[in-house]
Amino acid sequence: MSLRPTLDFLLYDWLEAEKLNGRERFADHSRETFDAVLDTCERIAREKYAPFNRTVDIEEPRFDGEKVILPQATHDANRAYAESGMLSAAQDYEEGGMQLPYTIEAAANGFFGLASVSMGSSLLTKGNANLLLVHGTQAQKAVFARNEFAGRFSGTMCLSEPQAGSSLSDISTRAVPDGDDFESDPLGPRYRLKGNKMWISAGDHELTENIVHLVLAKIPGPDGKIIPGTRGISLFIVPKKMVDAKGQLTGERNDVALAGLNHKLGWRGTTNTLLNFGEGKFSLRADQGGGLDGRGAGAIGYLVGQPHQGLRCMFHMMNEARIGVGTAAVMLGLAGYYASLAYAKDRPQGRLPVESKSRDGVPAVAKDAAQPQVRIIEHADVRRMLLAQKSYCEGALALELYCARLVDEQHTGAPQAADEARLLLEVLTPIAKSWPSEFCLEANSMAIQIHGGYGYTRDFPVEQYWRDNRLNMIHEGTHGIQATDLLGRKVLMENGRGLQLLAGRVNATIERALVLPELAVHANALAGALAQVRAATRAAWATGSAGEALANAVPYMQAFGHTVLAWIWLDVSLTALQLPATSARRAGCLGAATYFFHYELPKVAAWLQVVSSRDPTCAALPEEAF
Ligand SMILES: Cc1cc2nc3c(=O)[nH]c(=O)nc-3n(C[C@H](O)[C@H](O)[C@H](O)COP(=O)(O)OP(=O)(O)OC[C@H]3O[C@@H](n4cnc5c(N)ncnc54)[C@H](O)[C@@H]3O)c2cc1C
């Protein structure tokens, strides 16, 4: 089954996305308009992205000393995406948008992840512009955000530094007011920035007229000292090329220099850069706010929001960014699943064991070499790997769409429903980001395994899917950091109300499933897993020691994630049971759900064992013993 029918089933049958049209904001929409968006994205992805996925992997970005060079296909794909209107699809009509529900936008963008995940940087551009719509001034919105939505400019997120990745409180980029009149600039309070930003995706290229960097930096206090920790961090717009108050390029380069391109394992269609801010490579004219000859070196940056509120502004768009990362991981997982399914249906190899013969009472396996070979999809172990991929990837797709639907609920639901959606998203976001990053990557590994030796070569696409997917456990908060966020913050916040809310939703599904003979056993198994997760959460924190509780945060997140996925599969199965008994979709859903409950859910108990006992094996081993 390909992606589109799966999306249609999950969106319309399971999530009842059409009902969103009852909301005032989406009143002009209908199933037809949603389908038109899905059709357009599917077509552009098929024509402009998929044929070039290998090209962008082989023709890595390169720097000729002046410009970054990308394959022509990336330029064409980028243009087609911008012309489709998808950059601003979710925005208000007044902003030139379509007021499309995020649920549909997220689903439609899935086609690009499936076709060629690294060719577009639209996630960053949209996140950047969305942030400015919320925290920027009118001028910042008009000059930067609108031009990003229009595809004229693109955006980056500059958080990480060579010495500060997970620990953003330790960034050392500095921002100082640019002259006495720094507050009178039409584009916002003007500062001079100096520092280095590492790993910046889409940090330099010629795909758009300009690049809008959103940069975290610290403003020294009146005593010249930096406020330690994340409280001292502020957010700045630092354009690559200077613009006037109407958004026109002035012809001046801002002092942002490409120090180098990073050469990555995968995801090579997007540049990844080390950027130097304010090193003096590009000096600015005096009437551009000074320069080397005027008020000193430094890249010009315009403050966004209030000083020292930078991380708060950044985190505003984290939920959607993390759903985006999770969805990318899902799409790569699905790409591998579809490729290995096709291969397994085609590749003849070996024969099935025939009836065992007993020799001296000992069972023996026999094979009839005179028979033709079978296709590998007929081997039980290959079917195990296919079903594992299907249960991971289609289950995770359903989870991402469920979270996207919560985003719409948060923005357009009645007050109580909106608040519940907000809190549920707090708890589910680490799972939406991290679970697919780990298990859809595992799916890619199985896709390679199904291809045997061929999977390990570049003649087949599955090794690239694995390499591309390996990024997702690292960026947007590493696996370990997400796990700490879940057990150390999310399940505790508001006196554990988020966890209770989630448990309420899981229990509602269990109750519906308990009365159905096909699902009652699964429902009981899920109730058991949920009880174990709740007990383990209490046990982890029983001594109140963060060190003890968080030492096993990753096994906790794995168990929590598996419980969430089992819930999603049970809920999806309730919908699948409405399909005709002969439906392949129904059989596929119930088969994948059964796989998940039989082969995966039992792992929860083992993961939670070390959490509940606050097992010190890893934390306590002396360093010299490693
Ligand atoms: C291809 C790519 C694209 C990226 N794009 C961007 C971008 O556009 N913008 C941007 O700002 N950044 C970007 N990043 C940076 C990315 O967010 C960081 O790599 C990530 O935050 C981890 O930081 P680090 O690499 O310094 O690793 P470190 O923080 O040094 O972590 C190394 C290891 O130690 C673990 N660790 C660290 N601290 C803790 C802790 N407190 N508790 C438990 N474990 C811990 C981590 O989990 C990890 O396993 C990108 C990275 C890559 C590889």
**Tokens 């796990």 belong to which residue?**
483
| pLDDT of amino acid 292 | 42
User: At residue 614, what is the residue type?
Assistant: R
Which residue's C-alpha comes closest to atom 7 of ligand 1? 200
pLDDT at 367: 82
CA of 535 to the centre of ligand 1 (A): 31
Minimal-distance CA residue to ligand 1 atom 31: 166
Q: State the Cα–Cα distance between residues 133 and 146, nearest whole angstrom.
A: 9
- What is the rounded average pLDDT of the residues 79-106? 95
Work out whether the CA dihedral 369, 375, 376, 378 comes out positive or negative: negative
What is the pLDDT confidence band of residue 370, given thresholds at 50, 70 and 90? confident
Of 18, 12, 29, the closest CA to residue 98 belongs to 29
Taking the CA of residue 197 as reference, the ligand 1 atom at the shortest distance is: 11
Quickly list DSSP for 348-409: B-----EEEEEETTEEEEE--TTSPPPBGGGSHHHHHHHHHHHHHHHHHHHHHHHHHHHHHH
330: tokens are 């899902």
Distances (CA, A) of 579 to 391, 511, 522, 567, 588: 19, 20, 19, 19, 11
The answer to whether 317 and 373 have CB atoms below 8 angstroms apart is no
Task: Give the number of the atom of ligand 1 that is nearest the alpha carbon of residue 203.
Answer: 8
Judge residue 334's burial from the number of C-beta atoms within 10 Å of its C-beta, 0-12 exposed, 13-18 middle, 19 or more buried: buried
Using 50, 70 and 90 to split pLDDT, how confident is the model at 293?
very low
Q: How far is the CA of 159 from the centre of ligand 1 (A)?
A: 10
What confidence tens digit (pLDDT) does each residue in 105-130 have?
999 999 999 999 999 758 999 999 99
Residue to mutate, 481, 550, 557, ligand 1, most ligand atoms under 8 Å from C-beta? 481
Neighbouring-strand partners of residue 153: 210
Two structure tokens written together for 302:
């315009």
Q: What is the mean pLDDT of residues 473-480?
A: 96
Q: What is the pLDDT of residues 491-511, one digit of tens each?
A: 999 999 999 999 999 999 999
Give Dmax (Cα) for the chain.
97
Mean pLDDT, the chain, whole residue set: 95
Indicate whether 578 pLDDT > 90. Answer: yes
User: How far apart, in whole angstroms, are the C-alpha atoms of residue 289 and residue 294?
Assistant: 8
Compute CA distances 614 → 538, 543, 603, whole Å. 11, 9, 18
Q: Tell me the backbone φ, ψ of residue 583, rounded to 5 degrees.
A: -70, 130
CB burial readout 297-306, b (16+ within 10 A) else e: bbbbbbbbbe
Report H helices in 22-145. Answer: 31-44, 53-58, 72-83, 102-116, 122-135, 138-140
Q: For a substitution probing ligand 1, which of 169, 198, 205, 478 has the most ligand atoms within 8 Å of its CB?
A: 478
Q: What is the pLDDT of residues 131-186, one digit of tens each?
A: 999 999 999 999 999 999 999 999 999 999 999 999 999 999 999 999 999 999 99
- pLDDT exceeds cutoff 90 at 369: no
Lowest mean pLDDT among 74-88, 353-367, 434-448: 353-367
Residues paired with 233 in a beta bridge: 218
Tokens of 283: 């000096």
Owner of token pair 């799966």: 6
Give me the pLDDT at residue 288, please. Answer: 53
Distances (CA, A) of 548 to 61, 130, 233, 540: 45, 39, 30, 7
Q: Which residue, judged by its Cα, is nearest atom 27 of ligand 1? A: 165
Alpha carbon of residue 168 to chain centroid: 20
Range ranked top by mean pLDDT from 1-10, 219-228, 308-317:
1-10
User: Is residue 223 over pLDDT 70?
Assistant: yes
- CA-nearest residue for atom 26, ligand 1, is 165
- pLDDT, residue 291, reads 46
Prediction pTM value? 0.96
525, amino acid identity: A
CB 76 within 8 A of CB 49: no
Give the residue with greater pLDDT, 367 vs 264.
264
The tokens of 92 are what? 């208000």
Residues with CB under 6 A from ligand 1: 156-160, 165-166, 199-201, 264, 267, 272, 471, 474-475, 478, 480-481, 484
624 noted as active-site residue: no
Average pLDDT over residues 515-539: 98
Q: The tokens of 173 are what?
A: 């980029």
Residues recorded for the chain: 626
Backbone angles phi, psi at 273, to 5 degrees: -135, 155
Is the predicted pLDDT of residue 514 greater than 50, yes or no? yes
Q: Hey, what are 543's tokens? A: 């001594």
The answer to whether the CB of 275 falls within 8 A of the CB of 257 is yes
Catalytic residue among 476, 511, 548, 624: 476
The whole-number pLDDT of residue 295 equals: 52
Phi, psi (degrees; rounded to nearest 5) at 348: -80, 135
